Structure 1
Amino acid sequence: MNGKQRIAAQSREWLTTAFFELLKSRPYGEITVKDISEQAQLSRRTFYRSFKDKEDLLDDYGNRMIHDYLARLTDLSKANMDFEQVLTTFFSFWYEQRNEIRLLIKQNLFMVLLAKLSPQATKLYDVFQAPWHIEGTKREISYVMSFSFGGFWNILNMWLIEENPDSPKEVAHTLLIALKKMNYEE
């Protein structure tokens, strides 16, 4: 990354941090590009070099989180971890983002991210093997991933709204027990 790219990335980070800082005290609908720029101590022109609008900033945040999570999963697939470790890694990753996620949940923005990121769920399918994976058509795999992605997203939505959420390990363990009970033969 050259110097110009590094400065642009730093500006995006500052603008995103400013956005989340503003979400702590103001409704999303009342936050303007001017507010975000001023909070970040950057010009509006700098904002518009990075993002089209505040929705684009939110999309960028969501895309970066999915990218970072995919990178974490890629590391996992190399380590040959068991399913409980995969679950713990999933919940640990999002737990690390809990302050931002809690703000998004409170502002009814978390489910907006789900709708935008859900189509990317099929990318996760190829990153690691999970017990619910099937060998099927793209459409069948899309059904499986939509089902699991929605379930995990709903758990995050319920879990991370708490001021003091359970540990990622506790959530993963509870889910694993339930999944094992559902594993029955017809």
Structure 2
Amino acid sequence: MLESADGASQARQRILQATFKVLSRHGYSKFNLSDVAAQAGISRPTLYKSFSSKEDLLAAFSQFELELVREELARSLGDRSGRERLEAVLQFLVDFYGSYQMRGLIEIEPAVVLTQMGKALPALSELIAGEITGQVDDPVAVAAALVRIAVCHYLVPGGDEHLLLTQLRVAAGVR
């Protein structure tokens, strides 16, 4: 029974990774489960064993992405503390938004991306607030500002990571 559950978990992981690739290539409006199944190297019936619908898959994908962000942030922070930890959070935001591979969707489907970001911002802000608590006076407000500033740089790229880091430091009250 354990092997079966592990196999299902691996299939689910492959499907979620394939979803990222299909969304990056085709966007949300042309997204379909047949493309995901083909990218994952499985049949549609196998895909339906893990996800009952396109909406179910996209909801799971959003959670999958958030978990990946959590893991990457944890790796970036390591065992840092104090000011060093706060600086690591700021650098994480710069690096993350500078390297996120689905940036092309902004040009293909800006309205969809903005809707998705509107749903993701509270979760990202909450994640960041948890990491900067004790480092700033109002971690909830500062985290919201940090995420929104980083998102602005993501939506309107200019290759100005140094300016982004400077703006994040100002928002966090770091001199």
Q: TM-score higher than 0.5 here? A: yes
- Name the structure 1 match of 2:3: 3
Q: Give deviations 1:113-142, integer Å, cap 9, x for gaps.
A: 21222332324312234865417xxxxx3x
- Name the structure 2 match of 1:149: 147
Task: Work out which structure has the larger RCO, using CA pairs closer than 8 Å and 6 or more positions apart in sequence.
Answer: 1
**Deviating runs (4+, > 6 A) in structure 1?**
none
Structure 2 distance, partners of 1:158, 1:130, is 31
Q: Judging changes above 3 Å, is the alpha-carbon distance between structure 1 residues 77 and 128 closer, same or farther for their aligned structure 2 residues?
A: farther
Cα contact 1:20–1:103 (8 A) shared by 2: no
Shift of 1:95: 4.2
Cα contact 1:63–1:117 (8 A) shared by 2: no
Cα contact 1:105–1:157 (8 A) shared by 2: yes
Q: Judging changes above 3 Å, is the alpha-carbon distance between structure 1 residues 28 and 126 closer, same or farther for their aligned structure 2 residues?
A: closer
Cα contact 1:125–1:133 (8 A) shared by 2: no
- Name the structure 2 match of 1:104: 105
Structure 1 distance, partners of 2:39, 2:68, is 25
- Name the structure 2 match of 1:69: 69
The 5 A counterparts of 1:20-169 are: 20-23=20-23, 26-75=26-75, 76=77, 78-80=79-81, 81=84, 83-96=86-99, 98-99=100-101, 101-106=102-107, 107-108=109-110, 109-120=112-123, 121-129=125-133, 133-134=137-138, 141=140, 144-159=142-157, 166=159
Cα contact 1:37–1:43 (8 A) shared by 2: yes
RMSD: 3.4
Structure 1 distance, partners of 2:73, 2:23, is 29
Percent of matched pairs sharing the same residue = 22
